[in-house]
Structure 1
Amino acid sequence: MIRPAQMDDFDFIYALYMHPSINPFLLYEFMSADSFKPIFEALLADEVLYIFSVSDERQNTPAGMFKLIQLKHRTSHIAYLGGVAIDPTFAGKGLGQTMMQEIISLGASKNLKRIELSTSVHNLRAAALYEKCGFEREGILRNYTYLKHEDRYLDEILMSYIF
């Protein structure tokens, strides 16, 4: 199940963004919760941050997150998909594919014609997942992401899903 993120999701979102195995593949450097709070509040205000939940007997438990940012004007038929992550405690259970299928359905409900994303050339599992879900490689974005804490640049694979 996908739903818009809420203020109560701060701890979950912050933990995912700052998780050592997830952070190198996302947009923000490691930072304190206080430093991340204004970023989180801006994402909520822009209504681009979503939670992916799984159901158990009593509740929906957050298991993943993503940003879906619809572009404007002549590119309003496109959305950028970023910040895609599954909580490591749920890894290996097929939830990434389920979340991607729900993201594609969300895009269809918004009448999108294209969803685009980029992923590190080193993030082979993510690239394979995206391809399995129908995304196609379009090229390499050279020196696209700068990891300040490692003082190095990463190339990214540009991918898209066409409806």
Structure 2
Amino acid sequence: MIIPVGCAYSDTFVVSLKAIPSGLADSARCACISANAANHGMQPMSRIAISLCQDAGQTYHCLDTRARRNMLRLASPDDQDTVYSIYMHPDVIPYLGYDPMSAAEFRAVFQELVDCRSFYVLEQEGSIAAFCRTTRQPGRASHVATLGTLAVAPRWRGTGIARQLLEQIFTLLKTQGVLRVELMLEVDNPRAFAFYSKLGFEQEGIMRAAYKRSSDAHYTDEIFMAKLLADLPSA
């Protein structure tokens, strides 16, 4: 089963592994996925990038990477230096979860992000333009996902990359059965608040003194926001 996903720059789709014969090597899976894509009216693909998504191994998120644009994939160990440089940028780090640290200290932080298998990077023109982590809630809240560790490389700010990243993340989460997406942001980040509001997030509360930068003498409140990815079923 192939589910088309809207994409401004390249053909993107999600393919269930149930449609792909088991026991195939990655190269053979690429060929099979490419053939399935062509059968569904998509352009022939000379090269496919595959990232295993957080769906109990049942889904790949794939796209044509000939132009190396707008590619959403899971982060890999090779991304550490680039992610570190974005994370530690003076315009970025005030709104992420850790204070400035050395590259050696960041190694453990990044390894945890890679190991969680839900930390995604968006490539643009062959380099990482943005990244984001999704966390599924357990049990009766399994239809809820939390966004975090979201940042855009300074060179890509104001270009629509953050919207492209989240639109692809929302599409991916919907295929995994997520209905509700939550996030938190600092009250001193009005730009982010305006951005998330435009994407349909609504403020649901204030978390008092939930954040503190080592450079600040004071604690910072955080805004709790959420968005529904689909209409609620009727009672």
Task: Report the TM range for the smaller structure's normalisation.
Answer: over 0.9
Amino acid in structure 1 at the alignment position of 2:104: D
Instruction: Tell me the SS of whatever aligns to 1:47.
Output: coil
- Structure having the larger proportion of residues in strand: 1
The TM-score with structure 1 as length reference comes to: 0.92
Q: CA–CA distance in 2 between the matches of 1:97 and 1:138?
A: 21
Aligned residue type for 1:45: D
1:73 is aligned to 2:149: no
**Which runs of structure 2 are paired with 1:24-43 in the superposition (5 Å)?**
24-43=94-113
Aligned to 2:200: 134
Structure 2, unmatched stretches of 5+, are 1-70, 230-235
2:54 aligns to what? Answer: none
CA distance in 2, matches of 1:61, 1:118: 27
Residue 106 of structure 1: CA displacement? 1.6
Identity of aligned residues (%): 35
Residue 232 (structure 2) pairs with residue 162 (structure 1): no
Runs of 4 or more consecutive aligned structure 1 residues displaced over 4 Å after TM superposition:
none
Q: CA RMSD in A?
A: 1.2
Amino acid at match of 2:168: E
Higher relative contact order (CA 8 A, sep 6+): 1
Q: Post-superposition shift, 1:15?
A: 1.1
Flag the structure with larger Rg.
Answer: 2
Amino acid at match of 1:34: A
**Is 2:68 aligned against 1:2?**
no
Instruction: Report the equivalent of 1:94.
Output: 160
Aligned length: 159
Structure 2 residue aligned with 1:52: 122
CA contact (8 A) 1:53 1:61 kept: yes
Instruction: Provide Cα deviations, 1:33-61, integer angstroms capped at 9, x if missing partner.
Output: 1111011111111112110112x3xxx32
Structure 1 unmatched ranges of 5 or more: none
Q: CA deviation at 1:10?
A: 0.2
Aligned to 1:19: 89
Distance 2:168 2:207 in 1: 27
Secondary structure at 1:152's aligned position in 2?
A: coil
Higher helix share: 1
SS in 1 for 2:215: helix
